[in-house]
Amino acid sequence: EEPDEYWVIVQFKHCTLTDSVGLTGGFTSLYFPNSFTPNKDAINEIFKPYGEGIISSNFKIFTRWGELIFESNNMNVGWDGAFNEVKSPQDVYVYVLEYTTICSGDSKWKKYGQVLLLR
């Protein structure tokens, strides 16, 4: 993204100072599908977050009983609908994404939700 340029003018007694500052960064977005179909038809095979401006992430999938069945620290690696190489049943699963963005500094944000695995 191109930087935006802002001008600052400061006046003190008989002196006027001007300077410009370029600001970059800014845009972030985050999206999660609400369902996926890992049935080997090459459509909606993997469940993962999609976003821009995400610096780091930790993505987890849990069963409805709280069992951790998937974890990734790479936004490009998603869940294929299996646990220990065994197909998980059609059901609703819970996801948690802990992440930082280009705007969050050291603060981590969390996003919770549910996804429907369809077979």
pLDDT band at 14; cut points 50, 70, 90: confident
d(CA 32, CA 20): 39
Element (H, E) at 111: strand 109-117
Per-residue burial over 48-81, b = 16 or more CB atoms within 10 Å of its CB, e = otherwise: bbebebbeebebebbeeeeeeebebeebeebbbb
pLDDT digits (tens, 9 = 90+) for 71-100: 999 999 999 999 999 999 999 999 999 999
Taking the alpha carbons at both ends of the chain, their separation in whole angstroms is 40
